[in-house]
Amino acid sequence: MKHWMFWGMSTLCAWAAMGSEMGMKNKVGNLFPADVKTVGIVSISSILPKEKFDCGTNLIVSAGYRVKVMPNVQGPKVAPAETRARLFEKAWLDPEIDLLLFSRGGKGAADVIGLIDWEKLRSRNMRVIGFSDVTLLVNTMLAKQIGHPYTGPMLSSFGSWTAKARNWFGKMLAGAPLPTLQVKVLKSGTAKGLPMGGHVTRMHHLFQKGIAPSTAGRIVFFECTANYPVDQLKSQLLEMRDAGFLKDAAAVVFADFRHTGEDHTNLNQFFETFATSLPCPVFADYPYGHCSGSLLIDFQREAEISADGTFTWR
């Protein structure tokens, strides 16, 4: 029986490969496209607790796929930035890995993206999925036009996501037709373009460093957790606006923000006022971010938004 081991892979991962080779029954539908046989689990940020690792990996295996896991995914402590960069590159270039799925976000990606040998990675058009702190990486990929970036549910999300989000995940990756969505209109207008964006503070970091991708003709998504003060988010969005970062965007979409109570009200009021100051249409309440119903977004798939807030993926 062949074991797929990868730099100290856990016992679960060895079992995962065996289960796949034995033809384990597909219990959750097609998570990944037909050409994906092995999923690489990577991290350039925080480590993932064992219970979430086990839950997410079990789901992938039960769907009939193999996994290869980087040794820094579970710790026991966060590896040095240089190590995280080298392991990410090694996974990207591993011919047995068909797609890279981040284990989680957290913090630490800012220390890694400048250490990655991006030119070396041009040899493979690798599909990479991540959000939150990984906003830094997928948008750097976009800026450098390297690989195929997606933003949305990571391994840590798999245990809590909804059936709709799981079904959407597979269809978005496969390029299959998707149902239309209805979003809230903050500033009316029509928009069509490729998406980009993610966590507000991570997009602000890329903007400040001068390494953010251009927003020209793009539908820019923003999301955030409640860990960041409302005043900080306001300040960062205003700074990006005032510097002209959003002036050529096709649209801005405020997705899921985890703030509650007065903070939630405060943010919503700010979004409404902020929308009037932008030259493009602005929408809100798209299901993407730190929520169980977060929907995967393909940075290479065009979307269209009508004046009434009907959101269509082409």
State percent of the chain over pLDDT 70. Answer: 91
> Is 0.85 surpassed by the pTM of this model?
yes
Chain segment 100-156, per-residue pLDDT in tens = 999 999 999 999 999 999 999 999 999 999 999 999 999 999 999 999 999 999 999
Per-residue pLDDT at 30: 86
| Mean pLDDT score across all residues of the chain | 92
Report which residue type is found at 61: V
Q: Which domains does the chain have, with CATH numbers?
A: 11-174 (3.40.50.10740), 181-313 (3.50.30.60)
Q: How many degrees, rounded to 5, is the angle at CA 301 between CA 296 and CA 307? A: 90
Per-residue pLDDT at 19: 40
* pLDDT-based confidence at residue 29 (cuts at 50, 70, 90): low
Please check the confidence at residue 6 and state whether its pLDDT lies above 70: no
Chain segment 239-287, per-residue pLDDT in tens = 999 999 999 999 999 999 999 999 999 999 999 999 999 999 999 999 9
